Amino acid sequence: MNTQLLKQHIATYKKWLRSNKKQAMQEQEERAQLSLEYQAYTKERMFDMDEDDIYEYIAPLWAMLLWGNKQYVINKLITDNGLDMLKKQLANLIWGTDKIENRWNEFRKKIKGMGAAMMSELLCKTHPNDCLLWNRRALMGFDYLGISSLPRYDYQFNGEMYAYLCEQGKIIAKTMQEEQITSTNLLDVDYFIWKELQVQPILNKLTISNTPKEKIIEAIEHDSKKEAEFIHNDIRNKLADIGQWLGFNAEVEKKVATGAVVDAVWEVTIGNMGRVIYVFEVQTSGSIDSLILNLMKAKNNKAVQGVVAVTDQKQIEKIKKEISDLNQFNGDLKFWDYSEVLKVHEYLQYVNESINNLGLVPFGL
């Protein structure tokens, strides 16, 4: 970490605090209130939550700002995981006695639909002295300070990584305290990162659009089988996000025909045409023949209007050769490079966050 650079920005932040005492006090009170509200969700209370309580707990999160229809997202979270399992894992993540890295890994393994931003926000607002709020803005700030070994992709973000990032956040908090910014915790650090460390060249540097495609391919080709699975699931989940943002009913691990459970589907009902389904299969490792067979089976569902193989350019060429003598697809099989999926997801996430921050849609609709 570049401590000298950090102290320069702390000095600028101190000047802002002195010049904007009223706003600074309001924000400090806001942080304290947020912590009290989330600490009120004790372990016992969390086990007693019903669906409405889950909504009240999750919907106000900043990580939820990119979703216009929060009720839909939370209903899906409950449906996909089951209310009891969701409550159990939330209670263990927030209040469990095991190390945070183990609780984090268990939650990611057992719960679908909640990523690092939502998980870390819940932890930070409940335990602001110990847990860091992690999102793309925090990544930008940490990168600007020269902190090493940062996670560039979701598949790299495990419990051990989160514990490491929390320790780095504590170093920032301690430095702020040493520079006479008293009572600084990791929620205060988050506000500091947003105000001081969002430097434009770094924003440009960290966008997926400027990440060389070869780096993404290299990560997948050289990672372990376990990490390849994380990459697969990350891309699969991003496909579902993109579908939802575009107005489709999007699901993952969906059965669309006998013997065909596909990675992601986009579904919509169009007038008198009935259901229209688009099917996506992600290929990061494993058999190409298996992917082709699964997509062939998916086409037996007459509602399936398009099937898409999502992989890298090298695999795309292999798949094209494999299906060159097959008539089942009749040109219906499309290809999407997963580096493009990552870029589309990032752009749409930014668009949704920006529009929803305008407050044009009433909260919760």
- Encode pLDDT of 133-183 as tens digits: 998 889 989 999 999 999 877 767 899 999 999 999 999 999 999 998 877
Per-residue model confidence (pLDDT) at position 8: 94
The number of distinct structural domains making up the chain is 2
Per-residue CA distances from 197 to 5, 15, 142, 208, 209 (Å): 10, 15, 8, 19, 21
**CATH no. for residue 287?**
3.40.1350
pLDDT band at 356 (very low <50, low <70, confident <90, very high): low
* Percent of the chain clearing pLDDT 70 (strictly above): 86
Residues 199 and 227 occupy one common structural domain: no
Contacts 24+ apart (CB under 8 A), 164-171: 165/132, 165/134, 165/138, 166/100, 166/130, 166/131, 166/132, 168/1, 168/132, 168/142, 169/132, 171/1
The verdict on residue 361 lying in a domain is no
**219 dihedral zone (left: phi>0; alpha: psi -120 to 50; beta):** alpha
The verdict on residue 115 lying in a domain is yes
The verdict on residue 116 lying in a domain is yes
Residues 260 and 183 occupy one common structural domain: no
Per-residue model confidence (pLDDT) at position 230: 65
Nearest to 308 by CA among 360, 259, 236: 236
Residues 85 and 48 occupy one common structural domain: yes
The verdict on residue 362 lying in a domain is no
Residues 259 and 342 occupy one common structural domain: yes
Residue 302, pLDDT above cutoff 80: yes
Residue 350, pLDDT above cutoff 70: yes
Residues 77 and 171 occupy one common structural domain: yes
The residue that leads in pLDDT, 153 or 98, is 98
Per-residue model confidence (pLDDT) at position 226: 56
Domain that holds residue 148: 3-210
Residues 169 and 235 occupy one common structural domain: no
**Each residue of 25-60: pLDDT tens digit?**
999 999 999 999 999 999 999 999 999 999 999 999
Residues 189 and 265 occupy one common structural domain: no
Q: What is the pTM of this model?
A: 0.73
Residues 193 and 242 occupy one common structural domain: no
Looking at 195, 210, 225, the residue that finishes a domain is: 210
Residues 253 and 301 occupy one common structural domain: yes
Looking at 155, 189, 210, the residue that finishes a domain is: 210
